[in-house]
Amino acid sequence: MIHGYYNFKPKNIPLLTRDTVFKILHSIRLQHKKIKVSMNLGLSEEYIKIHKDYVVIREIPIEISKLNELSSICKDDEVYALSDGQLVRLAFFRNGHFYKLKYLGEGISPTIEIDGMHMHRITGITPWEDAKLKASLARVRYCNRVLDVCTGLGYTAIAALKSGACNILSIEVDRNVLLLAEYNPWSKGLRNKSIKIILGDAYDILPKLETSSFDKIIHDPPRPAFAPMLYSYDFYTELYRVLKPRGILFHYTGSPGKRRGVDIARGVMRRLQRAGFKVKRCPPAEGVLAFK
């Protein structure tokens, strides 16, 4: 079902982690009058003023007692937003699933967890670097039109834009994922006239797209257990149809079941070939490259 275009609106509000709270409290103990810290997960730093019983973050006063309380309950991988003077954890239970913006360290792009499973590669690579790798492998070039299947936090679409793409169509089925992305400073690049986001199921949307309308496709689905139709032969035939001749598809597969000897990529390659693609396994990115 197509729900229409999503109007992405970055929140641009202060975010606190265990790291930033500890830095602030340490400066308070040292009786500093101000401290320069990051309020956007390491993208930049700004000054906050320290008073006797409160600090001021972007003109918002917050009691030091609240920071002390937060330091005792905030886990290493949690993010809190300072919204309307209240500290709100960026994690929630909705529609039978638990969503969480997961902090990986200052200056590192966060990931999103759904039911405890992170949606990006985080071992040996950051989510941001992984998105850049996918855009590079798909050979996104100047003024390409790119289809990004499964928006997530938007890193892939942003990487495609930075690689020169002029027109990006990104599809995301889960509104809750986009809501978390709006709080994530690393996702703010999704607010760009060259990126259009459709809220809906890619399996239903692709048949409505024009034939041979994309230069490159980056398909970054969740594990097959969560979205089996996005790994189906029927879906791959639609990917083939909407891709231009000599176009390139990068399909992320990951390696679930590897310890049990399950090779997800092998089945993916077989179905892609059946749909008409020439395929090549791509171990460094845990995916498959396919050529029309």
- pLDDT tens for 132-164 read 999 999 999 999 999 999 999 999 999 999 999
Q: What structural domains does the chain harbor?
A: 2-8+121-291 (3.40.50.150), 15-76 (no CATH)
Mean pLDDT of 34-58: 97
- C-alpha pair distances (Å), 153 with each of 66, 112, 117, 185, 277: 29, 7, 15, 10, 28
- Return the pLDDT at 2: 53
pLDDT in the model for residue 254: 87
Could you tell me the pLDDT band of residue 268, with boundaries at 50, 70 and 90? very high
**Higher per-residue confidence, 117 vs 181:** 181
Burial grade of 51 (CB within 10 A; 0-12, 13-18, 19 or more): exposed
What pTM does this model have?
0.95
DSSP string spanning the chain?
-EEEE---------EE-HHHHHHHHHHHHTT-SEEEE-SSTTS--EEEEE-SSEEEETTEEEEHHHHHHHHHH--TT--EEEETTEEEESEEEETTEEEEEEP--TTS--EEEETTEESS--SSS-HHHHHHHHHHHTT--TT-EEEEE--TTSHHHHHHHHTT-SEEEEEES-HHHHHHHHH-GGGGGG-STTEEEEEE-HHHHGGGSPTT-EEEEEE----TTT-GGGGSHHHHHHHHHHEEEEEEEEEE---TTGGGT--HHHHHHHHHHHHT-EEEEEGGGTEEEEE-
pLDDT at 27 over 60: yes
pLDDT of residue 225: 87
Backbone φ and ψ for 278, nearest 5 degrees, come out as -95, 135
Answer whether residue 279 shows pLDDT above 50: yes
Q: Of all residues in the chain, what percent carry a pLDDT higher than 90?
A: 92
* Average pLDDT of the segment spanning 204-224: 97
Q: Determine the pLDDT at residue 260.
A: 66
Position 45 scores a pLDDT of: 97
Residue 1: pLDDT band (50, 70, 90) is very low
What is the average pLDDT score of the chain? 95
What average pLDDT score do residues 26-54 get?
97
Question: Is pLDDT at 173 greater than 50 in this prediction?
Answer: yes
**Chain position carrying tokens 């992320």:** 252
